Structure 1
Amino acid sequence: MPEPTALPDDASLKVYAVTDPERLYSLATEPPRVAGSLSAPEIMSLAELLARQRSQAATDWAVRLGEYAARRTGAPGAVQLMAHVVRELVRRPSSATLPPYFELPPKADDPDTEFRACLLQEMALRWGLDREPYTAYQAGLRELGHPLAWLPLASFYFESAMRERAWWRGSTLGSLKSDELHARYPEIPPTAAGALAGRGARRAPDDRRTEAAMDPLAELASSAVEFFTMPEPLDPADFNSALLTAIGSRCLAGLTPDTLAAAHTTADDLAGDLCVAAFSGGVWGDGRPGAYVRLSTWRALYALMDLDPSVPHTRAVRAAAEYRWLRLALARRSGNDFFFGDLSDMAFAVLDPTRTRVAIIAASDTD
C-alpha cells in the first residue's frame, strides 16, 4: 500500500481543477490517499473548485461528486456535500453546460436519481426549465412518486425573495424590530374594533396544516403555527396588532398593541423568510438541500392558505393575492416568553379571502 501523501497546496489544487479534475474527485472521495481523512470544509472546497469550472470535464466530475454524496445517504456530511455541489453548479450564468445530465430517465433503484432530482429543481428555480430533456425527466420523477416532482419547472417572479435571501446570498433569518418595521413596511394602526374581534375568535386546530406549515421552521429553537376562526367577516382595517394580541395566540402571549407592530406585506415576503429558515437550519441545524427547501416552503404556503396540493402553483400565486398578509415585529421590551429576542425572530399573520379565518406563524432562534 502506498504511503499517504499530504494534501496539495491551494495553488496546486486550482491547477488540478483545470488540468486534472479527476484528481480532485479522487482526493474528495478517497481520503486514505492523503494524510488523514479530509475535513468537511476541505471536501466542500474541492467541490467548489470543480463546480466553478466551466469546462465539461470539470463539470462532469463535480456532478459525479454530487452523485457520490447522494449514494452515501446517512454518512456524516453526505447531504450537505450533495447540496453544496448542486448550489455551486447553479451559480453559473446559464444552464448551457448542464443539460446532458438529464438525458436518461430516472430510475427508482439508482441513487444518482436523488442528486439529479435536486439539481433539476434548483436549476428550475434559477432559470426555469420548460423544454426537453427537463420536462421528460420531471415526468419520470412523477411516475416514480418522487416528492420533488410536485414542484413546478417554472421560475416564478413570486420566488424572487427565496432566491435572493437564501441561494444567492447565503443569508440567515434576522430579527426585525418594530422601529425597523415602521421604516420598511406600511404599518397598520391598532383599532378598538380589532381588539373586540380578536376576543371573539375561536381556536381551530388542524394537525395536517400545522405540520406542513411548521416544516421549514423545524430546526429553529422555537416555532409555532396557530389557526383561528372569526364569528363574522372581519373588516380588513381591523386585521391589526390589536386583534392579534387579543386573539388568544400562545406565541403572541404577553404582547400588546404597544409592543407588537403589524404591517402590510405579501406572501412572497413570508416565503423568503421560510426559505431562509429551512435553508440555514438555524443556529444548530444543518439546513437542507435547496430543492427540499423549495418544496418545504411551497407546502407551508399551501397549508397556510388551506389549498389542496392538486391546485397548480400558478393558481396558488394568484390566490395568494386574495389573502391579507401581515409581518409582525416586537418592541425591544415585549413581555413575551416565546421570542428570544436574541438572534432571529419572525412572525406573520394571514387573513383568508372570506375574512373569517386567521393563521399565525412564528419562530425564534438562539444559541
Structure 2
Amino acid sequence: MSDNDVTPGDAAFRQPRWEQAGTAELKQLAESRPEELYEAAEQLCRSAFREGPEGLSAARAVGRIADALADTRSRDCARFAVAIVELLLPLGPERRAESNRVGRSVAETLVKSQQLRDLEVLFGELPERLDDPAVEVRACVLGELAMIGAGRGRPALDAYAERLRELGHPLARLPRTRLDVEHRFGVRVRGLGSVKTPDQLRSRFPEIPPTDSGAAVGRTAVESHDAERAATVAEPFTVSGWSREPEARFFALPGPLDPDDFNIAFVKELPLDCLEGEGTRRGGALTCHTTPDDVINELFAAAHNGGVNGQGQGAEYARLHAWNSLYALMGLPDDIPFPEAVRHAADCRWLRFMAFTDWFHHDTADVAFAVLDPSGTRVTVLAATDTDADARV
C-alpha cells in the first residue's frame, strides 16, 4: 500500500475504500498510524448519520476501524477507539442497534487486548449524566472487566463505578466480579451444545419420574397473570432475537407441593401453550433436575449468542439480562442483594423439561425450565425455542 492510499485527503481514503479494507490492513494501520485511522473514522461518522444503506454501511466501516484500534495494544489506540465510539453512539434510533453493537464490541476487545493501566486512564473524569456518549462505552468496559474479575481496587475505576451507581446506570447494579453461580458464562465445552433429544437431556441431568400425585396437584394450580414480570423472564431471548416469543407463566398451588411430585406429570397438567398437543407427536415428554448455575448460564448464553433473527448482546448486557430474568423467575424484587438471591435460588427446585409438540422445534435451540419456590406453593415456567426453519423454507 502506498502513502497516497492512506492520506485523509485522497479520494481513495473515502468511504468506499474503507468498506473494502481487510482486517489485516486495518490492523497494520492501527499499529503504524493510529491518528490517521481515527481521522478516517471521524470522516465516516458524518456519513453514518445519513439514512439508508449508505449510512448503515458507513457505521459498520467505523465499527471495524474502532475494533482494529481497540485490538492494538497501545494507550493511544485505546483512547482513539473509545473516542470513535463516542462519535458513533449519538446516532438516531435507526442506527441505535449498530452503534450499541460497536460500543459493546469495542469494550470487549479493549479488555481482551489492552493493559489495565492503559484502560485506567480512560476513567479520569467522572460523568455528570448518563446521556453523555462517553459514559456508555466506559460502563461496558467496567462490565467486561467484571466478567474477568479485574479492575476492583483501582481508584479511578472504583470511583467511576460508584458514580454509575449514583446515576442509576443499569450495569452498575451488577457485582464487580463474577459470582460462583456464573462460572459457566462464556465457557464452551466441546460436544455440549444445545439439548435437542431426550437422550442428550438424560445424559446431562438426572431424570425425574412422573407420579400420579404430581398430576393431581397440577390440576389444582391456579394461574396468575403478570405481563411485566413475564416480559422480564423472557428478556434474554427477546433482546437477542430468538425466533419465537418465549412463554413465561406463573402458577399458585393451594398447598405445598412434595418435591418428588414436581415432575413431568405435574407440568403436563398446567395450561401451557408449549405443551399443547403433547402426546400427538412421536417422542415422550420428560423432566430432569437441574441447578441455578445451569439455568442462569442458559439465560446468559441466549442473550450473548443471539437468535437466528437477531444478534447477540455484549457479555456485560447478556449478564444483566440473565440476572433480570433469574430474579423474575424467582419473583424477587430488584433490591434483593445478589448473595441473597443466590441463596434463595439454592432453596428453589429447578427442572428442565422437554416435549414433542408443534411449539418446540428440536432444531436450533429449545430451552424449557420450571421452578418451584421454597414454600412449595408457587411455580414459574419458561419455555423458548429458536429455529431458522422458516428462513430455509
Question: Does TM, scored on the shorter chain, surpass 0.5?
Answer: yes
Q: CA 1:9–1:124 in 2, change beyond 3 Å: closer, same or farther?
A: closer
1:12 CA displacement = 4.0
Aligned to 2:28: 15
Aligned to 1:102: 123
- Single out whichever of 198-207 and 124-133 deviates more from structure 2: 124-133
Name the structure, 1 or 2, with higher relative contact order (CA <8 Å, separation 6+). 1
The separation in 2 between residues aligned to 1:310 and 1:73, in whole angstroms, is 32
Tell me the amino acid that sits aligned with residue 99 of structure 2.
A
Aligned to 1:288: 313
For the 8 Å contact 2:67–2:109, the answer to whether it is kept is yes
The separation in 1 between residues aligned to 2:161 and 2:201, in whole angstroms, is 40
Partner secondary structure for residue 112 of structure 2: coil
For the 8 Å contact 1:245–1:253, the answer to whether it is kept is no
The separation in 2 between residues aligned to 1:30 and 1:65, in whole angstroms, is 11
Aligned to 1:125: 147
Partner secondary structure for residue 183 of structure 2: helix
- Single out whichever of 233-242 and 91-100 deviates more from structure 2: 91-100
Q: 1:138 aligns with which of 152, 155, 161?
A: 161
Matches within 5 A, 1:275-314: 275-314=300-339
Aligned to 2:104: 83
What TM-score do you get using the length of structure 1 for normalisation? Answer: 0.87
For the 8 Å contact 2:59–2:88, the answer to whether it is kept is no
1:46 CA displacement = 3.0
Partner secondary structure for residue 322 of structure 2: helix
1:24 CA displacement = 2.6
Tell me the amino acid that sits aligned with residue 339 of structure 2.
T
For the 8 Å contact 1:27–1:33, the answer to whether it is kept is no
Matches within 5 A, 1:330-349: 330=355, 334=356, 336-349=357-370
- Single out whichever of 254-263 and 149-158 deviates more from structure 2: 254-263
1:2 CA displacement = 4.6
For the 8 Å contact 2:44–2:62, the answer to whether it is kept is no
Aligned-pair Cα RMSD in Å: 2.8
Gaps of 5+ in 2: 1-8, 48-53, 389-393
1:42 CA displacement = 4.8
Aligned to 2:75: 56
In terms of fraction of residues, the more helix-rich structure is: 2
1:112 CA displacement = 0.8
Aligned residue pairs: how many?
357
Could you report, residue by residue, the CA deviation over 1:294-330 in whole angstroms, capped at 9, with x for unpaired residues? 2221111111111111111111112111111112233
The separation in 2 between residues aligned to 1:229 and 1:323, in whole angstroms, is 15
What TM-score do you get using the length of structure 2 for normalisation? Answer: 0.82
The separation in 1 between residues aligned to 2:72 and 2:10, in whole angstroms, is 30
Tell me the amino acid that sits aligned with residue 24 of structure 1.
L
Could you report, residue by residue, the CA deviation over 1:165-207 in whole angstroms, capped at 9, with x for unpaired residues? 5xxx9xx983432110111111111122211221121112222
Tell me the amino acid that sits aligned with residue 26 of structure 1.
E
Aligned to 1:250: 273
Aligned to 1:316: 341
Aligned to 1:225: 248
For the 8 Å contact 1:252–1:338, the answer to whether it is kept is yes
Q: 2:214 aligns with which of 184, 194, 198?
A: 194
For the 8 Å contact 2:148–2:177, the answer to whether it is kept is no
- Single out whichever of 12-21 and 242-251 deviates more from structure 2: 12-21
The separation in 1 between residues aligned to 2:360 and 2:75, in whole angstroms, is 49
1:227 CA displacement = 0.7
Q: CA 1:137–1:32 in 2, change beyond 3 Å: closer, same or farther?
A: closer
Q: Percent identity?
A: 37
